[in-house]
Amino acid sequence: MNYSNLLIENRERILYITINRESKLNALNKATLAELHDVITGSTHDDEVGGLIITGAGQKAFVAGADISEFADFNADEGRELAREGQIKVFDVIQNHSKPVIAAINGFALGGGLELAMACHIRVAANGAKMGLPEVSLGLIPGYGGTQRLTELIGKGRAMEMIMTADMINAEEAYRTGLVNHIFEFDELLTKAAELMKKIMTRSPFAVGCAIRAINAASTDGIDGYETEISEFSNCFGSEDFREGVAAFLAKRKAEFTGR
Ligand code: COA
């Protein structure tokens, strides 16, 4: 697939996905979502990819939301389909990715943009970034998982206020409330996100994948997260990474993980 809305680059096994519709503040139109689905699913089994960093082109926006012009005349059924398809094909795929996914929030992350960042495993922000779920000001609510993931990340009371007021918060407040893990200078954002990713990539990829699944189970309805943890813990014992990690520790050398 040729990407006309994304820039894709693999450096040192980190796949950088840059949403590249700067003139529309990187708003997520249908074509961009289809490209995201393609590149993210494709990275799952690509041995050249150890982790993914998602960011937005330019200085102004990470993603300023779903593309409003595309759903302006939708009816209820089309609205349902828009949300369902987006959630299944992009947002859930990111959340359930077995490799680490970091959102590097370089500017506005609004609506579907913040929802995209919240589907990622970790968020870091540039110090001027602004985040919000402004859908109620359009007569809508978040539809790409925002009501659920914001509640998990910052708690019900704060999520209620952010969603009902449609207010944006700045990077400091996002950090204070746990929405982002770190704030960096804009110029350092990608370098620092890559440093964090590289640290994760020195660990067992097999175990990191198990950890992602176990942590995700904490907020998956109908699943006992403790049982998932037991099962994923057990899986680790069957991995080459476990043999290597323990052997390296005992031999006082650095582990060379294969992810198997
Ligand atoms: N969908 C479609 N187009 C969008 C967009 C979106 N979510 N967000 C921004 N754009 C477009 C604007 O229409 C404008 O296009 P134009 O130059 O062809 O008119 C361009 O991006 C620049 O945006 P503009 O609004 O002129 O920039 P600004 O600096 O005045 O304001 C924002 C920046 C982020 C405050 C403002 O663009 C905004 O509120 N965007 C919508 C956010 C939103 O409600 N997202 C949730 C959608 S469900």
Identify whether residues 106 and 221 lie together within a single domain: no
- What are the catalytic residues? 115, 135
Q: Does the beta carbon of 116 sit less than 6 angstroms from any atom of ligand 1?
A: no
pLDDT of residue 112: 98
pLDDT(250) > 90: yes
Identify whether residues 113 and 213 lie together within a single domain: no
pLDDT(245) > 90: yes
Alpha helices in 120-238 (DSSP H): 146-154, 156-165, 171-176, 189-202, 205-217, 225-237
Q: Is residue 238 part of a domain?
A: yes
Cβ-contact 40, 29 below 8 angstroms? no
Q: Residues 74-90: what's their mean pLDDT?
A: 98
Q: Is residue 148 part of a domain?
A: yes
What are 131-142's pLDDT values in tens digits?
Answer: 999 999 999 999
User: In which band, very low, low, confident or very high, does the pLDDT at 248 lie, cut at 50, 70 and 90?
Assistant: very high
Instruction: For the chain, give the mean pLDDT.
Output: 98
Sign of CA dihedral 75, 70, 154, 137: negative
Q: Which domain holds residue 160?
A: 6-201
Beta bridge partners of 131: 109, 169
Identify whether residues 119 and 232 lie together within a single domain: no
Q: Is residue 1 part of a domain?
A: no
pLDDT(221) > 90: no
Task: For residue 99, give the 3-state DSSP assignment.
Answer: coil
Task: For residue 94, give the 3-state DSSP assignment.
Answer: helix
Q: Is residue 140 part of a domain?
A: yes
Identify whether residues 190 and 216 lie together within a single domain: no
Q: Is residue 220 part of a domain?
A: yes
Identify whether residues 22 and 118 lie together within a single domain: yes
What are 166-197's pLDDT values in tens digits?
Answer: 999 999 999 999 999 999 999 999 999 999 99
CA of 24 to the centre of ligand 1 (A): 6
Identify whether residues 237 and 192 lie together within a single domain: no
Q: Residues 112-138: what's their mean pLDDT?
A: 98
User: In which band, very low, low, confident or very high, does the pLDDT at 36 lie, cut at 50, 70 and 90?
Assistant: very high
Q: Is residue 258 part of a domain?
A: no
What are 152-171's pLDDT values in tens digits?
Answer: 999 999 999 999 999 999 99
Identify whether residues 127 and 195 lie together within a single domain: yes
DSSP state of 109: E
What is the Cα–Cα distance from 52 to 93, expressed in whole angstroms?
Answer: 13
User: In which band, very low, low, confident or very high, does the pLDDT at 1 lie, cut at 50, 70 and 90?
Assistant: confident
CA of 63 to the centre of ligand 1 (A): 10
Q: Is residue 257 part of a domain?
A: no
Identify whether residues 69 and 117 lie together within a single domain: yes
Q: Domain count for the chain, please give it.
A: 2
Q: What's the CATH number where 151 sits?
A: 3.90.226.10
The residue nearest atom 44 of ligand 1, judged by CA position, is 134
Q: Which atom of ligand 1 is nearest to the CA of 68?
A: 1
